[in-house]
Structure formats: C-alpha cells, structure tokens
Structure 1
C-alpha cells in the first residue's frame, strides 16, 4: 500500500551496534516476521520491498505485489489513506485502519503503522510500514453488532422483557415489558417470590420454583403459565444466566421473559391440523411420502416401506421406482417431469407391487411445497389404493356394454322361470281375479290355465272349514302375507294342500304356491312316530320304577315263602295251623307271580333264552289254554310248517301266551274264537325291528276290541278295564317286557267291535333246541355251603332251608367277609350268594372266589338283574323260592 511508512529511528538514543549489525538484524526481522512489513517509495508510492507475511496476507506473489500502488486500497477508504500520508509527512509517523483488496478479491481490514526512514545522505525518500490483519476482529465486531441488533429486534418482536435478581442485598428488577407481561402496575414494583407465586398457575408452581433454586446450574430455562388481568392464562418462557463472583457464589441472575401464548396457540392449532391431516390420510387409506425437489426419496418413509416392503436402502433416491409396474413406469416418469417443470400438482395412476407381491392400483397425488424464493423445496404425496374402485368401474362399463343382451337374457330367464317353475305362480288383480297363471297350475291341480284366468281364485278353494289358515290370497292387496296353507280341489276331485306366499305390487297381487300335500302327510306320520317314542320313554321310566319295587318285594317274599315252606315240610302242625300256612303260601305264590309280571314288564327278570320249538310249545300248552278260556271260546292253532326255532325263555313265553289267552277270554264274555297263528316273516318298518325274518305269534280274538285311548294304555302296569278285584292289569305289561327283553316286539291291533290281535315278534335262534338231562345220584349230606347275603332276614331263612337239606352252612354278610373265609382253611364246597349287594355284586364275588379256590361251584340268588350286569355263565335262582326249588338248584350246582 503506497504512502504508508515505518517509524523513523529515534534520535538521541544510544547506538546499539554498527550499521552493518543493524542492517543484518533488520533483514532478519523483515524476512521472518509474522506481520506484514513493506518499504515504500514516497514519491512513487510503490513497494520497494515486501516480506513473505505480507504476500501471504494479500494473496499476491512478491513480483506482482511490487508492481502495486494505491490500487490496493478499497475505494471507500481512499480518504483514510490520504489522512495517513498527511500525518506521516507532518510528524514522520502515522497509523490508520483501512480496507485492502487482496489478490483473491477479498476485503481485508488492516491497521498500518508507518514511519519515515532517512537515507545515509540525509534525504527522506522511504517509509517502513508494519501492517496488521484486523479482518477477524472486524468480522467479530460486525457479528457482535448484528447479534446485538438481532437480539434487540427479537426481544421487541417476541414481546419479551428482561429481569434481574441480585443476592446482596436481595433485590428484583423488572423491565417495563415484564410488568406488562404480568399485567402489574409498575408503581407496585416487582413482586417478591411469595407474591410472584400467586401469579403462577397451580400446576406449574413447583417446576417454576425449581428453576431458580438449582444452584449448580449457570443457565436455566423453563415455561409456565401466569394469570392475566382478564382472568385468563398467559404462557411465559424464562431464560436466565447466573453471574458468579470470584469466590464462585451467585451474585446475580439475569434473564428474559418471553410471551409464548400466541406460539402455544399456534402449536396447538398445528397439532390439531396434523391430527386432522393424519386422520384424513387414514380415512382415505392412503400412504404419505415425501420427495426432494428432483423426486428423490430421502429420509425415513414408514408408510412407503409398509406398503412396498422396501427397506430405506432400497427406496433411497430413485429406488422407489422399482416398486412401480414396468408397464406404468415411463408414463409415471413423464408425468412427474412435466409436473416438476411446471411446478404444478402431480396426478397419475399406476400399479405398485405390495409387500406381499400383489400388484394393486393406486391413485397418486403430490403437491410441491415452495421455499421463500419460489423454488420447490420438496414434494408431499399420497398413494391411495383404488383397486376395488377401478374394478367396480370396469365391471360397470362391462355391465353397461352388455345391457341390451342382459335385458334379453333376463327376459328369457324370467320366462323360463315362469314356465319351468314347479311352484304355482299367479298374478291377480286387486279384486282377486286371476290375470295370469304359469303351467305349474295345471301340473299341480290338473286344471288348464285357461280355466282359471279371468276367474276368482276362491272358485277353486275347498271351503269345508278344514283349511289351516285364516289368510287368503285376496288379503295380500293390503300388504305382504306370511306363508299360509289352503286346500284346493284337483280336477280329478282329490284335495291338494297348497302353501302360499303373496305380496302386492302396484294394482296387482303376486302369489307363489307350493304343493305340500305329501309334506303334511309326512308331518302327520312324524308326529305319530314322535308320540310313539314319547310313549316308549314313558313306559321305560315306568319300567325302571316297577323293577325297583319288584326287586325289593322279592327280598320281602323270600323269607316269607321260605319260612312257610320249611314249616309246612317239617309238619307237626295242627289242622288249623296247617290250613293257615297253606293259605299263606298260596297268597305268597300269587304275590310271586305278580312280581314276576312286574319284572317282565320292567325287563328286569332273569331270562334263560334258548332255542325253542314254538309249534311244539303251543301244542304242549293247548289243553291249559282250553281249560283257562272255558267252553264258550273255541281255540284254533294255525302253525306254518318247517318253522325255525325261536330264541326265547320257554317258561316265560308260556306265561305270556297264557296271559294273552286270558285277556282274549275276558274280551269275549259271550264267547267267540281264539286263534293262535305261528309263522316266519319279516316285520314291517313300523315295527321298529331290523329288516330280517322273525318268528311271529299272533293271538287274535273276536271280542269287543279297544278304542285308541285304551289301546295306547293297554301295556301300562296296573291298567285294566276289568274292574276292581278282577285282575292286576299286568298281563300285557309282562308280555311287552318279555318281548322287549328278548329283542322282539309286541304289537296290538284293535278297533271297537272288531276284536283284537296281539302280535309277538321273536328272534330266530341260531341252533336247534337241545334237551337237557338233570343231575342224578347227587347227595347233599355232609357238604358245606358258604351263604352270602347282606339282608339278615333273607340270609337267616335261606340258611335254615339249606341246613334242613342236610348242608353245613357258613354265613357271611357281604363280599369282604366271604373273601376272608375263602382265604382261610375253612372247608367250603360251594358258594351261594345274593347278586345285588353294596360295593361288590354277587357275580364279581363269584369270580374272586374262583380265583382263590379254582373250580368252586357258585350260584347267584337274585330278585332281578339287568342283562348287562348279570353274569349269565353262572347258575342262578330267582327270588322268592321254596325249599324244593332251592334243593333242585343246589343239586344242579354240585352235580
């Protein structure tokens, strides 16, 4: 920089060395100094010499810099340069700050110290300049000034105020703005802490107090609400810095308060808008994304990632385009480029591959957001799935394209449905006159269509009061009718049940009818079958009750009959006592027969089913039947030849046939014919038996017959039409029980005045009858029997009867006691046990006993037993019994 000089040598100072030494020192300082140093020719204002630091500072090489003059000075600082030269000329030294233009075009602030230098000849031609770079200091000062201005403007714009708290002595200072923020009169002065808290919202007080009490912090900030004079709340932000003394203790806190009420309201509104935007996007099932101005996808895009399954690395930049269908990609890119160029919203539809590999149609809309200078900052877009919408539109277009053909097809289908429908279709006017009928009318009722069109529908309705509904087709003129049934007359005179539905449309009634004649017959049959099932269930319940009563009655009869029998057999009774015992035994035997009938009805008696020749059995009891029915009734037997044997208990069957014969006799008080017919047939389906051959025994009479009510109750136990004292009412009950327990069935067919036929169906045996031989030469004397029964009275009577037969009797009151005896050394030749006992029944005891003593004969004594439970491989004796029956059973057991 020309015209800038170094300081002259100080006159009057002591010499510091030779001129050569000084020159050498100056050259060393000139070359190595880290500040700019230059010698300037005052006349030409050119650089004579410059050091390396100055070249670096001004960004010039040495040769170029030596060619420069005042053109280095900024035009705005030419006056400062001239002032420097004037001062240098006047005093020989001067300093000034100015701006220089560097070789790279930069402006540098420098401070120049100039001193004139005298040549050896005494002339002053040069100046030495020391040049300091002040650019950084000036920039810092400029920034500080700008920052101060910005702070001042920011405080004014933010309606902020300053405050200060001093510790020693305690004092609070508020600016006018702070008083305004608190709506407080300045004349009152700043509020102390306690009064200040009354301004603060109760929910914010603790947090506000903590701000100033955190003694470790040198800077704190916070937000809280204060009450306004109008009764509302104002949001304030406080920013404060702690000023500490040399000892580290707090001296002052200096801060500002800023009114945040408006920003808070704007923030709340922004949050609400964001929530509305998110809800709107969710409502449209759209996916939101953002791109930069060129269309690159940057940053986290969770919606796009969830839609396509692409990772950030995959969709980054233009990678998102890989998810667009190849056939749609170029069209989408062209539309995008056009929107970017025109800075207008982007609209397009294309297919996108979803994360599950399925292509879906999407409507795409993107809007550019602009920066302050009008340039595009980014694009915000939404992908909305329109797959179903477009499919529906295509279907509608296809539908419209084929409308005429479809109308024709629909007409054809309607006509076809009218003609081919199996249901009757009628159209009537509002008065009930038929205006149209389809061919199903003729197919269902025989009348030609011409016979009904033009006539009133009631002309074909049967009006004898048996129709099941009060509705009629004419009622449909007032509104739709529920399904109802009416009877119509067929052309051949028969009756048909028609189920109708009908509804009005304009001035017409449209009706559809279906022939339900067969359905009604099936319903009647179903109701009959359900009634039979209910009847069988009732009988089963009665049977269970009857069986339980009979079992207990048998246990009562056993000691009675046994005791009377023993007394009679032992003799020694006077004539009167003998008659009484005989009468008691007769009554007990009758009670025994009654109980057997009860057990038969209940299907609880113990049956010994075996192959039985039915014609031979009937022939063998013919005389008994003839004597039982009396001379006024003729007995006829009709047996088919070569019949297979029946699987049945012969003794129980004889009793059943005798009961049926006696019932027939009572039904023919004036005499008649009793016919027993035996054949092999397959029962009809209504019998409820498997479709295979059975043996059939029919017992028919020519008596009074029964009405339906009596027939249904005939097999109920104790039901009788004979009157009091003329029977128990258990005869048919016993036959019914025997048939059911034998896997057969009893059927009754009767009408008043036409007699009764009782049909007994019995299963056919798998083998022929086998004659059995009884034991011979068996003696009971000297044998020991183990008698088990939990009823003391029954056990005592049975023990007496066994002892009277010459047997040694060992008694046990249950299975546990019996097993202890069997496990001991006691001699036991046979086991006689009750069947139904607590905990362990007789069959289980017999098996356990034979496990302890293999081959031990065992016999069950029972009042009844279910076929499921009774071990039929063991001998048994039914209760009650006489001594002779007991003796025979024991003899068979050990024989």
Structure 2
C-alpha cells in the first residue's frame, strides 16, 4: 500500500516520490539530488546526442524526470510555453509548475496509478507560467525502469495549450455519450430534414425496435395524425426565441402499438443561427394516459349510472300507476273477452317495461341485493333482447344454453348487469362486427378454490 500523502504539503516540492517509487523492499536506494551540474542525458549511448537534439527541437512540450520526480531536461517548446529557462526548470519537481488543484490531483491520484502501471495517458492539468498566468495541458508519461524494477527515468509529454480545447471536447463528448446512453428517458438527435441521426437505448426501447427495425425519420415513428402538429411546433420554435417546447405526441412502435410520449423539442444552432440539430426527449406517459382514460370512463359510467338510476326510478313509478289502473280496468270489464285480451297485452307490456327499469336500476347499482334461486337459462333468454339492442346490428348474438334447468343462488339483477357489461365490452372489442355467443355450463368449485374466497361454498 502506498504511504499517505500530506495534503498540507502540496504547495511544497513533492517529496513522496521515493516512498511511492520504493514501495517494495528492493527499492531502497540513496540517490543524489538532480541539478544542472549533475545532469545526465536521457540517452547515454553513442547515438544519444542525436536523440537529444531531436527531442530538444520537437514542436511539443516535453520534459524528462529522474527517479525523484525532478526535471532533468526540458525542450525548447516547454521552456518557451511556460516562460522558464532550462536552468530555472531543471532540478525542480514537476508538481511545482502546477496550479494547486492540479498539484493535488497529480500527487493523490495520478502518481500512485503511474507507479503501478508505468504509463499515464491524457490527464488534463493546469500549469502555472512564470508570469503567473495559467494554461491547460494534457499530460502523458512513460516510465523507464532499472534492473530492479525501479522507475529511474520518465519521459513526459504536454500537449500545447492550443490543442487542449480538442482534448477537453473529447473528454466532454465521452461524458455526454455516457449520460446520453444511460438516460432513463428516450433521447434522439434529428437533422433539419427529420432524419434520426443518433438515439439512445431508452429511445428504441420506447419504440420496441430492434437494430433492423429502427426508423430512419421522425415521420416513421409518429402517428400519422400527429406529424403535422410536430412539424408546426418545430416551425414555431425556429421562429421564436424559446429554448424548447413541450407537447404530447402519439408514437407507433415497431410492433404496431400506440404509445403516448411527453415530448420536449430543443434546437442546436450554429454561429450563424441556423438549425443544425433537433434534440428530442420523450417521456413515456402511456400508462398514465391509459389510467386517465380509465378514470374518465369510470366517471362517465358513474354519471350515466346516476342518470339511468334517476330515470329508471321515475319511469318505474309511472309504470306502477299504469299497471295499477290497467288491473282496475280489467276487473270492471267482466266477461268482455276482447277487452280482457287487450288489457292483458297492455299489462304484459307494462310489466316488461318494469323489468327493463329493474335492469336499469341494477346497472346503476341503486337496487338492494336480493339473492334467490334463479334459472340461468331463463335469465339469459329474458335478457337477450336487451343485449341485442345494446350491441347493435353489426354483431350477431347467440345464446347457447346447456341442457336441463340449471339454477344458481344469485341476485338476478346483478347477474343481468354483469352479462350486459360483458356484452358491451365484447361489442367494443369487435368494431367491425362479429358473433357474440353466451354459453351456460356447470362448474364445480372445490374446497381449494373456496378457501381463497370466503364467500364461496364448495359445490356446483
């Protein structure tokens, strides 16, 4: 483990190099401090002068360090860029030429990793020039280890301040890419022509598209009725000074599903003010939209139920009066068979109307539950006309009753209401028409099933 570094000493020449460099038992060695007088060429072989001349005149900032982290040589570009002469630079620790924050990062993070790997690449630091001004540089280092594995020399390259903007852009691009890809919501870049040039995983997940199914343009993913609205909004955004707009749009996935997305649209302009890219951000609100629609439907049905209940109640009162008067008339007619027959038909029609109001009251849940033994076949047969009227002429209705007289202990109005609701749902599922069949069959509920539902008794 590397020894702790005292942060309070960061403004002093770095003295922790030996501790880091000699962290193994074989790395303990005494070494004289590097000075101008004790300068040792980096390439001591017979061709060293040629290489030294080459490095000294490279058009990039370059310096060499000894095993103590002190400069042993700097090239002309290094001296010119930072304003120091070679005599002023050689013998000083490299961290002395850094701003405090960069000095701390070099000592606490970069050096420890460098002593393990012997390589450092593309670390952005701030150097302090002799005149006190600062500049960004990109540091890269390579180590030369001796026979015992010790780092004896290092060659360090500093990218020129003029080139750092590109390096910073690359780093920022990498960070943007990471944030872009890991975003929870769908994001995409769109050209002014509407072509999708880049999109993250959440975007394609929202659209349920595989690599082969990915759309080429916004028009391919939008619902056809929303394309014009989107184009109009983008046009208004281009003319306005607003940074972005938001609207809810419908999208069609690769599987044909309709999705709802809260869409934010922003523009990327060049220096001339021309639109270069359109940024889309989509938040999936499909579930929320469907929940809202279900709530609205439930509220509508509740309102219909209240209206139906009120009308049915008033209409039932009228029918009660009509039936009562018809019965009185029937008693007074005596033996007039023709009159009796007509009155019987009128009374029968009034009672059917009363049954209808009872069904309407049950639908509106205004009627008290009255469970009794009911013949299911007869109940389905009796409600068949109401079902036929409710589902419309485009759907054929068929009642398939089982043999015998199946009976159940149930409130007939509630069962009729349930069957009617099923029929209405079936109608909505067949907008182009079809066949609706209602079958009655016996089912045995065992003890295991009854144990899950306390109100259920085992049996048929």
TM-score (norm: length of structure 2): 0.40
With normalisation by structure 1, the TM-score equals 0.23
Larger Rg: 1 or 2? Answer: 1
Which is bigger in relative contact order (C-alpha 8 A, separation at least 6)?
Answer: 2
